[in-house]
Amino acid sequence: MASTPSNLPCHVAVIMDGNGRWAKERGLPRTEGHRAGAEKIRAIVEECNRLGIRYLTLYAFSAENWRRPQNEIRALMALLEFFLKRETSDLARNGVRLQAIGRLHNLPESCQRQLHASMEATAGGTGLTLVLALSYGGREEIVDGIKSLFRHIQEGHADIAMLDPEFFSKHLYTRYYPDPDLLIRTSGEMRLSNFLLWQLSYAEIVITRKFWPDFGQEDLHAALEEFASRQRRFGGV
């Protein structure tokens, strides 16, 4: 078993990129890449839980992904539902609490039902909190946060004078979680892709050229060691 890296982040966020290219390199349909990527999630969740990381947020389906071909979207939604049904009992047994962020009402009703059932079944978990970003977009989240803030002002529950970054954060999807300390992106791409735009302001970023289905526990450890080697000054000296 690999040793535990020092100075662990509290919250790790991952852009799980490269499933389609992984499949293309092997002459397989894109759906097989997504299936392989879903299988990889289990090992990474288990290792983060073992290490004592408190939060893991996975970019599972973006707001922009709705633009993909309908057959691919249907396959992804079916895979999500299958993954939740299969993994919920193990998550609960291992103390992992499942949560989700995004415009969840856009998901198919069957996925919504399974997602809520899985979250309820794991609500008592005291180990890792696994957050799935589904139908999620960072800009959309900020817009929804502004709408929420305006409603509170109109209803007399808030005043514009109260507005500062901390207060606004309470109107975001992620209001119950700390901001990520570390962002990992697979496949070598050097962009945020509309992911946690507000929350990643001071996150350390580690990019690996490996496609997500090839990302293993040793790669997670390497990213954590890289994080531990960084000096985080948050704008100070």
Given 17, 19, 49, 181, the catalytic residue: 17
Task: Please check whether residue 17 is in contact with residue 5, taking contact to mean a CB–CB distance below 8 angstroms.
Answer: no
Any catalytic annotation for residue 181?
Answer: no
Given 7, 19, 49, 65, the catalytic residue: 65
Task: Please check whether residue 128 is in contact with residue 95, taking contact to mean a CB–CB distance below 8 angstroms.
Answer: yes
Find where tokens 């939740």 sit: 84
Any catalytic annotation for residue 17?
Answer: yes
Alpha-carbon span 89 to 183, nearest angstrom: 28
Residue 119's contacts (CB-CB under 8 Å, 6 or more residues apart) are: 98, 99, 100
Task: Please check whether residue 124 is in contact with residue 93, taking contact to mean a CB–CB distance below 8 angstroms.
Answer: no
Catalytic positions are 17, 65
